[in-house]
Amino acid sequence: MSTIAAPTPEVSQPPPPPRRTSRQVIVRRREMAALVIPSLIPILIFSVVPLLNGVYLAFTEATLGRRSSNAFVGIDQFVKLFGDRQFFDSFRIGLTWAIGVTLLQLVAGLTLALLLNANLRFQGIARLLALVPWAMPPVIVAIIWKMIYNPNSGPLNGFIQLFDPDFRLDWLGSFEVALPAAIVVGVWVGMPQTTVTLLAGLQQIPAETVEAAEMDGAGALRRFWHVTLPSLRPVITSITSLNFIWNFNSFGLVYVLTEGGPGGQTMLPMLFAYNAAFRDGDIAYAAAMGNVMVIVVVALLAFYLWTQFRAERDN
């Protein structure tokens, strides 16, 4: 006896979405612009306008005072700047400071992030303590470290004197160690955000990838070099670039620590521009310094990012 198959019901296809007319597209774009423009106004007022004003002042002879003249003088301020040896010295010190602090922050932050990512006891407390330097204002941090470095009553000299009673060193007043001592403080201040960023990157690495490397016989060092580090490369590129900008533009921390001394050994470009603007009253000269610093930092970051992206593309 043959059976007759029941006819399959036809599945109705959903109607295609209606196409928007040109008038609807224009209305939609206007609605989006109405939402975006209010957020752009503060950026325009507090970022773009001061930047353009600073660029303009660099081509004038503006000074700090009521009788300031904003007469246009062309590139005279830049000619004066490139003939100023003290500015080039401050720029060299600023690059030494920024590169040293940024690299040490990366090494210290990555080491701490690896420890915090491990299954250790009191992991929560350790992560909380790692954020303490981040929660303190830079001025307060500078005052505390200035007390630590005090040559007469500072705990650092006191600890070393337990082993060498004749030891006495003015850490922030010595020509040889003032900049390295300030770099240590800069690393301590900026390490938390580097640690948190790298810790977040470590937690995004798939556990299956690490387990596969373990099953292949890779030790801890090989897993770090061939699995962890390549996975963290985008995060390292981002946080290193941001840290370099922040460190190169440092002002408050070093100003409270040394005020650029001794003998200009810690005179960062921002301190040099600050003295030119508010101690000497030469606003136009300080604006010229700011323009040069912006151009150099952008060029260095562009070269660094280009090399990183090229290395990733080749790999």
How far is CA 166 from each of CA 147, 159, 160, 172, 177, rounded to the nearest angstrom?
A: 20, 12, 9, 19, 18
Reported as a pLDDT band with limits 50, 70 and 90, residue 309 is confident
Quote the pLDDT of residue 183. 95
Q: Is the per-residue pLDDT at 4 higher than 70?
A: no
Quote the pLDDT of residue 117. 83
- Smallest CA-to-CA distance from 184 within 137, 141, 155, 151 is with 141
Q: Is the per-residue pLDDT at 112 higher than 60?
A: yes
Q: Is the per-residue pLDDT at 106 higher than 60?
A: yes
3-state secondary structure of 60: strand
Name the CATH superfamily for 85-314. MetI-like (1.10.3720.10)
Reported as a pLDDT band with limits 50, 70 and 90, residue 107 is very high
What is the mean predicted confidence (pLDDT) over 265-294?
90
What is the per-residue DSSP string for 114-155?
Answer: HHHHS--TTHHHHHHHHTHHHHS-HHHHHHHHHHHT-TTT-H
Give pLDDT tens digits for 62-92.
888 777 777 888 899 999 998 889 989 998 9
User: For residues 24 and 71, what is the distance between their CA atoms, to the nearest angstrom?
Assistant: 51
User: For residues 157 and 150, what is the distance between their CA atoms, to the nearest angstrom?
Assistant: 8
User: For residues 189 and 220, what is the distance between their CA atoms, to the nearest angstrom?
Assistant: 29
Pick the more confident residue, 174 or 308: 174
Give pLDDT tens digits for 50-66.
888 888 999 998 888 77
Give pLDDT tens digits for 10-30.
545 555 555 556 676 677 777
Q: Is the per-residue pLDDT at 1 higher than 50?
A: no
Quote the pLDDT of residue 98. 92
Task: Kindly list the domain boundaries of the chain, sorted by start residue.
Answer: 85-314
CA angle in degrees (0–180, nearest 5) for 87-92-96: 145
Quote the pLDDT of residue 2. 47
Q: Looking at the DSSP assignment, which residues form a beta bridge with residue 60?
A: 72
